[in-house]
Amino acid sequence: MYNAIIDNIKDKNICILGFGKEGKSTYNFIRRHLKDKFITIIDKNDVRESEELNLDNNINVIYGDEYLNNLEIYDLIFKTPGITFKDMNIDNIKSKLTSQLEVILEAFKNNVIGITGTKGKSTTSTLMYNILKDQGKDAYLLGNIGNPMLDDVENFNENTYLVIEMSAHQLEFVKISPHIGVVLNLFEDHLDHSGTVYHYHENKMNMFKYQNSDDIAIYCLDNENTVNWINNNRYQSKLYKVTLNKTNTQNTIYLDGDNVVYEGNIIYNKNNERTLIGEHNLSNIMTCLLISNLLNLDLNKVVESIKNFKPLEHRMELVGTFDGVTYYNDSIATIPMATINAINALEKVDTLIFGGMDRGIEYDSLIEYLSKCNVNNLICMPTTGYNIGKALEELKVAKKIYYIEYLTDAVKLAKKITEKGKICLMSPAASSYEYFKNFEEKGRKFKELVKETD
């Protein structure tokens, strides 16, 4: 089946735009099958000394500040997700753009379960993958989760399930949608790449845009932004819904008291043993239960898979209990709603460490929430944390507000002020880029600091 990808590129003048993890994966795929094909590699950085390129005489490398110039000379441009065309006119190259996601969808559309959303997509994708593997299915977990889609493409067949976590960056220019598409939620995020909230949400909704009447679209009725997109667009696919509210809506999995119900049947109880706590994670679980029903999987085994699932690193991750205080690392929380969900799920949060790079996201909802919730100690970090702390001071809230610049000092303070028997949560509600390379680096540093003894 992957031969169709090779046939499409073998006679074309192609370039790989962006030579990070996915760009290298694309290069390696082409070289496995077209050893002598001439390829142009384009990146802002000089990548000529990359291990992959060292002995290759059939390449041209373009780099530097003008690296996005003259793209129109190529027949096909393999764009990697990290490259942004924000504020550029790309009308002359739009039809030439492709990506790993695009070529996988072209060759394997009916095998793909695509999952996106501002929050929850990694957890839901991994849980769905585990459910399939636990039932003996041939399945791969791919995409934004960190696994390039062309690395194992030679092993895919008509019975393979491809669970693909899809980011807005990956979905931005696709011209085909998966057979089963999921949009968990839509919040404000990634304005640095997308420019506007509308464009960011528009990119996400490409998940459904090119589906046909035989395809399946799954979305959450509890997320107003997603519902508005559904109501304002005529998607061709069969629409299925997920909600934490009791409803008589057709093709909907819903919560009735403690029971999860689908087509009149109780298929899960929210009090079942599970490590994915919080209502937002219950919604993610229900999404996987719905997909499992549609795939006719053994639901008893699905419940067991949910029970055995371990939360992913940096997502309300239990670090441990030290000197009577329990610490959680939620560094993946880069928007206000994620932090609110974490506090609600954990319930006994006494100290919150938050703040990060200001990307122009609205924080009124978080300010209002923090002014009323039971968190006593707010450790505010640059830049958004400082702004939120000052806004709370103006409201004269009964909170202890601290302004700390470095994570090392924030953790030291948390150890002193957090009430024994309660929780210290790091949940930034913002990007980590000002002081850290990414949320993973920040989360690992937090865990290291928590475990240090004075």
The candidate with the shortest Cα–Cα distance to 339, out of 295, 385, 383, 303, is: 385
CA distance 130 to 379: 37
CA distance 16 to 3: 19
Is the previous residue joined to 383 through a cis bond, with omega within 30 degrees of 0?
Answer: yes
Q: Length of the chain, please?
A: 454
Going by their DSSP bridges, the two strands 400-403 and 238-243 should be labelled as unpaired
The residues that bridge with 256 in the sheet, in sequence order, are: 259
Q: Estimate to the nearest angstrom the gap between the alpha carbon of 334 and the chain centroid.
A: 11
pLDDT score at 453: 74
pLDDT score at 52: 84
pLDDT in tens, 274-312: 999 999 999 999 999 999 999 999 999 999 999 999 989
pLDDT score at 352: 98
pLDDT score at 195: 61
pLDDT score at 223: 97
Task: Give the residue carrying structure tokens 């008589």.
Answer: 248
pLDDT in tens, 137-156: 999 999 999 999 999 999 99
Cβ neighbour number for residue 398 with a 10 Å cutoff: 6
From first to last of its 454 residues, the chain has per-residue pLDDT tens of 899 999 999 999 999 999 999 999 999 999 999 999 999 999 999 999 888 898 899 999 999 999 999 999 999 999 999 899 988 999 999 999 999 999 999 999 999 999 999 999 999 999 999 999 999 999 999 999 999 999 999 999 999 999 999 999 999 999 999 999 999 999 987 555 556 899 999 999 999 999 999 999 999 999 999 999 999 999 999 999 999 999 999 999 999 999 999 999 999 999 999 999 999 999 999 999 999 999 999 999 999 999 999 989 999 999 999 999 999 999 999 999 999 999 999 999 999 999 999 988 899 999 999 999 999 999 999 999 999 999 999 999 999 999 999 999 999 999 999 999 999 999 999 998 888 989 999 999 999 999 997 5
Going by their DSSP bridges, the two strands 180-183 and 139-143 should be labelled as unpaired
The candidate with the shortest Cα–Cα distance to 62, out of 37, 81, 40, 79, is: 40
404 neighbors 381 (Cβ within 8 angstroms): yes
CA distance 257 to 269: 9
pLDDT score at 359: 86
- Measured over the CA atoms of residue 331, residue 333, residue 335 and residue 341, the dihedral's sign is negative
Q: Estimate to the nearest angstrom the gap between the alpha carbon of 454 and the chain centroid.
A: 36
Average pLDDT in the chain: 95
CA distance 208 to 206: 5
